[in-house]
Chain A
Amino acid sequence: MRVLPPLLRRKPAVAVLMCVPLFALILGLVAYPFFHALFLATLNKAETAFVGLDNFTFLFGRQTFWMVVRQSLLFALVAVVFKALIGLAAAHAINTIPTKGQRKWRGMMLIPWVIPPALSTLGWWWLFEPTYSAINWGLTKFALPAVPWLSDTFWARFSIILVNVWVGAPFFLIMYLAALKSIPGELYEAADMDGAGPWQKFFYITLPMIRNIIAITTLFSIIVTLANFDIVRVLTQGGPLNSTHLFATYAFRVGIESGDIPLGAAVSLFMFPMLAILAFIILRNVRRRAASLA
């Protein structure tokens, strides 16, 4: 038996060398900025003096900040639920029709997810424009009242969620469709033999089989939605009266636009505990799946 040249498996130096750029990137532009953010958050506005936790206690005392917290959570939860439901319904519908036409339908439905969100939101902004709103034109044709899409707190929040669902539902569609396709067809045939109806098949075969992917996709989407910036920034800039601000847009307003970098860093950092918990659950999930594969 030939002995392999001791080239590959025994050369950690080469292996480490190949990872150096990646390591440098993570260390220099992710880990270091994170610790620098922690440091920044303890400074005063001019960044000349250490103020401890004053930035945080200042935020805790502000009503606006609590509104941002509530709005971010409400936004993320409601948007993710609707994205998941629409994605699941659309994936299920595509999976029902003959295979020949599936690609075409899927392609059409992925368009919102392909357009850069900042740009498609411009289109929505125009659809919501108070005087010219083409949606309101349609509503009044059906004798419905025109809606103050972006100027009323409730409707502004509604609009932000609507646009986020529009952008994000296709991602769920893709993940669910791939999951549905991985379910063995024999399971459904067996269920047919036993006389199961479509709802029974859905609840007793489909859902349990794709439960894992629903979980991972949902957790991942909560992270992305909670950290959203583009939609709110283009559509309402946080208004009316700061009622649609999310952590990211509020941090941008405070940190970049008002020039209080330490306070902005503090606002951003509030996302971290939530993201860390979600990331921990995802990682455990992914690890468990990897272990069950090996």
Chain B
Amino acid sequence: MTAIPFATAPSLRSNRRWALIAAYACLGIFVIFFLFPPYYMLVTSLKTNAEIAELASNPWIVTDGVTFGHYEHLLTESSFPRFFLNTTIVTVIVVAITMVISVLAAYSLARLRFWGSGVLATGVFLTYLVPDTLLFIPLFKIVGWLGLLDTYWSLILVYPTLTVPFCTWIMIGYFGSIPRELDEAALIDGANHLQMLLKVFIPVALPGLIAATIFAFTVSWANFLYPLAYIYSESEMVLTVGTVTTLIKGDVFHWGGLMAGALLAAAPPVILYAFLMDYYIAGLTSGATKG
């Protein structure tokens, strides 16, 4: 009540300065916490087996010369390229299926009302909240009945249950925010549904489409439970399960190769995010932060 009016200006500036210092200190600690495991994986993947096995030297740096032997071995003498190919096939097909199903449904649910469409939209949201771990056992039976056990087609069948609900949900949001004047103009020009979707909705909602694609890609690339439960042959495995189960041989752990495999397998999503992060974050947060 007494000195505040006079103290405000300088104390504000020093407050601001301290806030900045505290913020940078905080960020520094968090970045170390978030980045030291991948850093250590990288360091390990570049060490020779002899250096990995040796206990005396500092494990956090490469002291004995950098080697790319683990990567070379992985790419030329292991099933890793096969895993990579399988993962790519599964992911591309799942992303394609997901986008077709969700864009069609989102267009219909956002613009054309029909009896039960509200219930279906709610159902989509609830399905999004169903985790993969709830239904993997009954799906195991279904995959078995369809004769898809131990093939990566089982993943192509079940992954859409994880990708489609969220993609439909965000596409409903993006389509819903398109002004109605735009489709009315197209209607007057005599456009049909397909033209409307392809020429108006998809181009206008492209950022949403990119966000949905990244989501579907990430989920199909990263899932671990379904391939672990449904696939046993090395020739059908995808990266996550292949890396975790086959690169660990017997009782000798090939840590260098294991870390190299994990890093290479993680590279595609990391690279994708490096370029398209902003779209994805916009898609992810648009629903939650409006209003």
| Residue positions of A touching B, CB distance < 8 A | 2, 4-5, 7-9, 11-12, 14-16, 18-19, 21-23, 25-26, 29-30, 32-34, 36-37, 40, 86, 89-90, 92-94, 96-97, 105, 107-112, 114-120, 122-124, 126-127, 129, 131-132, 134, 137-138, 166, 169-170, 174-175, 178-179, 182, 192, 195, 197-198, 213, 216-217, 220, 223-224, 227-230, 233-234, 247-248, 251-252, 255-256, 261, 264-265, 268-269, 271-272, 275, 278-279, 282-283, 286, 289, 292-293
Evaluate contact between B124 and A123: CB separation under 8 angstroms. Answer: no
**Nearest-CB residue, chain A, relative to B100:** A21
Q: Is B288 an interface residue (CB 8 A)?
A: yes
- CB A254 to nearest CB in B, in angstroms, measures 9
Q: Is B270 an interface residue (CB 8 A)?
A: yes
* Complex-state Cα separation, A12 to B114, whole angstroms: 5
- CB B184 to nearest CB in A, in angstroms, measures 7
Contacts of A5 in B (CB 8 A): 187, 190
Evaluate contact between B288 and A119: CB separation under 8 angstroms. Answer: no
Contacts of A134 in B (CB 8 A): 40, 59-60
Partner of A105, one of B31, B229, B269, B281: B31
Evaluate contact between B34 and A123: CB separation under 8 angstroms. Answer: no
- CB A222 to nearest CB in B, in angstroms, measures 11
Evaluate contact between B129 and A279: CB separation under 8 angstroms. Answer: yes
Given contacts A97-B24, A251-B137, contact A8 B112 (CB under 8 A): yes
Contacts of B26 in A (CB 8 A): 89-90, 93
How would you classify the secondary structure of chain A's contact residues: helix, strand, loop or mixed? Answer: helix
Between-chain CB contacts (< 8 Å), 6 pairs: A9-B112, A109-B27, A119-B244, A137-B58, A213-B288, A251-B137
- CB B233 to nearest CB in A, in angstroms, measures 16
Contacts of B193 in A (CB 8 A): 7-8, 14, 18
Given contacts A124-B37, A175-B285, A229-B224, contact A268 B137 (CB under 8 A): yes
Partner of B284, one of A19, A174, A216: A174
| Residue positions of B touching A, CB distance < 8 A | 4, 8, 12, 15, 19-20, 22-24, 26-27, 30-31, 33-35, 37-38, 40-41, 44, 52, 55, 58-60, 100-102, 104-105, 107-109, 111-115, 117, 120, 122-127, 129-142, 157-158, 160-161, 164-165, 168, 183-184, 187-188, 190, 192-193, 196, 218, 221-222, 224-225, 228-229, 239-241, 243-244, 253, 255, 258-259, 262-263, 265-266, 269-270, 273-274, 277, 281, 284-285, 287-291
- CB A226 to nearest CB in B, in angstroms, measures 8
Q: Of B126, B253, B274, which is in contact with the most chain A CB atoms at under 10 Å from its CB?
A: B126
- CB B91 to nearest CB in A, in angstroms, measures 12
Evaluate contact between B229 and A234: CB separation under 8 angstroms. Answer: no
**Nearest-CB residue, chain A, relative to B159:** A29
* Additional 5 contacts, C-beta under 8 A, given A8-B111, A34-B134, A271-B134: A12-B115, A111-B35, A119-B266, A138-B60, A283-B125
Contacts of A15 in B (CB 8 A): 108, 112-114, 117
Partner of A182, one of B141, B192, B196, B289: B289
* Complex-state Cα separation, A174 to B38, whole angstroms: 20
Evaluate contact between A197 and B15: CB separation under 8 angstroms. Answer: yes
* Top 9 closest pairs, chain A to chain B, by CB: A116-B222, A227-B131, A248-B133, A15-B112, A178-B285, A33-B138, A118-B224, A22-B105, A18-B108
Given contacts A116-B269, A118-B224, A229-B224, contact A30 B117 (CB under 8 A): no
* Complex-state Cα separation, A131 to B125, whole angstroms: 47
Contacts of A32 in B (CB 8 A): 142
Q: Of A123, A234, A286, A292, which is in contact with the most chain B CB atoms at under 10 Å from its CB?
A: A123
Contacts of B107 in A (CB 8 A): 18
- CB B6 to nearest CB in A, in angstroms, measures 11
Given contacts A33-B139, A116-B222, A118-B222, contact A251 B187 (CB under 8 A): no
**Nearest-CB residue, chain A, relative to B97:** A21
Contacts of B255 in A (CB 8 A): 126, 129, 132
Contacts of B218 in A (CB 8 A): 114
Given contacts A7-B187, A117-B224, A126-B255, contact A29 B157 (CB under 8 A): yes
Contacts of A129 in B (CB 8 A): 253, 255
Evaluate contact between A283 and B126: CB separation under 8 angstroms. Answer: yes
Partner of A283, one of B37, B122, B132, B164: B122
**Nearest-CB residue, chain B, relative to A23:** B120
